Amino acid sequence: MFAYFFLALRKLLDLAEHSRRDAYLAAAVDMVELERRMRLMDGND
């Protein structure tokens, strides 16, 4: 039971993180800004 709860919580947190990253990238005003943001995110993984 605990394992199922942990996996469901992990999936929920992963989806939230993906949504946050998508919103951050979508807020870029041009390609240069988008590429800068993508490089910044790659460095944080």
Task: Say which residues have a Cβ less than 8 Å from residue 36's Cβ, sequence separation at least 6.
Answer: 28
The pLDDT value recorded for residue 1 is 85
pLDDT in tens, 14-37: 999 999 999 999 999 999 999 999
Tally of structural domains, the chain: 1
Burial (CB count <10 Å: 0-12, 13-18, 19+), residue 37: middle
Rounded-to-integer distance, Cα 29 and Cα 36, Å:
11
Domain containing 11: what range? Answer: 2-44
**pLDDT for the residue numbered 9:** 96
Report whether pLDDT(45) > 70: no
30-45: average pLDDT: 90
Query: What pLDDT score does 12 carry?
Result: 96
- 38 neighbors 28 (Cβ within 8 angstroms): no
Tell which wins on pLDDT, 42 or 33: 33
pLDDT at 13 over 60: yes
The answer to whether the beta carbons of residues 22 and 41 sit under 8 Å apart is no
* 37, 25 Cβ separation under 8 angstroms: yes
